[in-house]
Structure 1
Amino acid sequence: MKAVLNGTVIAEAPQDDLVRIEGNWYFPPAAINADLLVKSPTQYTCSWKGECQYFSVKDGDALLQDRAFSYPTPYPASFDRVGQDFSNYVAFWKEVTVTA
């Protein structure tokens, strides 16, 4: 599967390596092109996953605010709900398209 923004691949991995949580595909850390992500100061805490880290995504010279997110240290109880450890896996939204 791929996460693509305007023809640029931001992440790519076999579907079996991804985790699906609440309708979002989360890519493993090794599948991410980290050069295209910039940590965002936006704060959010999910009641069952824990503290979220948002990232802005580089699109040429533009920076699209908060288009990716991750849970660096999810609550341990969330692993049971998801079925595996998803620490630092990254999901995308808005203009970033995830396709098979």
Structure 2
Amino acid sequence: MPEMPKDDPRIARARAAWRFRGQTRPDFAIEPGPDQESVWDYPRPPAIRPEPRPVRVLAGTVTLADSNRAVRVCETGSPPTLYVPPQDVAMDLLTVSPTRSFCEWKGQARYFRVKNAAGPAIDVAWCYPEPLAGFEPHAGWICFYPGRVACFLDVERVLAQPGGYYGGWITADVVGPFKGEPGTSHW
């Protein structure tokens, strides 16, 4: 995927296309209980928040990441994605994938696979090496797919966001429904 210039008008069009922006919770949203938050209250553009819980990521029994410095990126309709500073990731266990994608809020993503993994080569993580405005402090920070490697927040095993494209981390403290299932691309 060729890199999109940061002032490309397609970015503005993509940002304007979203139906929900976190100002009003839609009727179909689940009401959060005590100590829960609704992903429908998250803003668009996404908010970056510190994550106080430790983050741990495993490929089988091998630790890929262990951090107390992660941030949560909270965007309308999606469970948070957790980004870990590269210093807290075993980068020597990862290899760059040819996969690329573009987020109208964060920029062009680079993906990673586990080196010498048994089975088919799959993307397990991504980062934004040269992000758009607003995400620059987290350039190069790594986010892992909880459906492809074992991700933990403190002791809780994280569930994967539906659909396989997005990498949100579903925990007991967030309620949806979550973007990612068929028919939810406009959320």
Please classify the TM superposition score into its range, dividing by the shorter chain length: 0.7 to 0.9
Q: CA deviation at 1:62?
A: 4.5
- Higher helix proportion: 1
* Mapped partners of 1:74, 1:59: distance in 2: 29
Larger Rg: 2
Q: Secondary structure at the match of 2:134?
A: helix
Equivalent of 1:74, from 120, 128, 131? 131
Structure 2 CA distance for aligned equivalents of residues 26 and 56 of structure 1 = 16
Three-state SS of the structure 2 residue aligned to 1:77 is coil
1:98 aligns with 2:151: yes
If the length of structure 2 is used for normalisation, what is the TM-score? 0.46
Correspondence list, 1:14-33, <5 A? 14=68, 17-22=69-74, 23-33=80-90
How much does 1:64 deviate? Answer: 3.7
Q: Which residue of 2 aligns with 1:82?
A: none
More strand by share: 1
Q: Structure 1 residues 62, 34: closer, same or farther in 2, change over 3 A?
A: farther
How far apart are the structure 1 equivalents of 2:120 and 2:90? Answer: 15
CA RMSD of aligned residues (A): 1.7
**Partner in structure 1 of residue 56 of structure 2:** 2
Q: 1:55 aligns with which of 106, 112, 126?
A: 112
**Structure 1 unaligned spans of 5+:** 80-84
Paired residues, what number? Answer: 93
The answer to which structure, 1 or 2, has the higher relative contact order (CA under 8 A, 6+ apart) is: 1
Give the counterpart of 1:65 among 94, 107, 122. 122
Rounded to whole Å, the distance in 2 between the matches of 1:60 and 1:51 is: 25
Percent sequence identity is: 29
Q: Matched residues in 1 for 2:73 and 2:116: separation?
A: 26
Distance 1:77 1:27, change over 3 A: closer
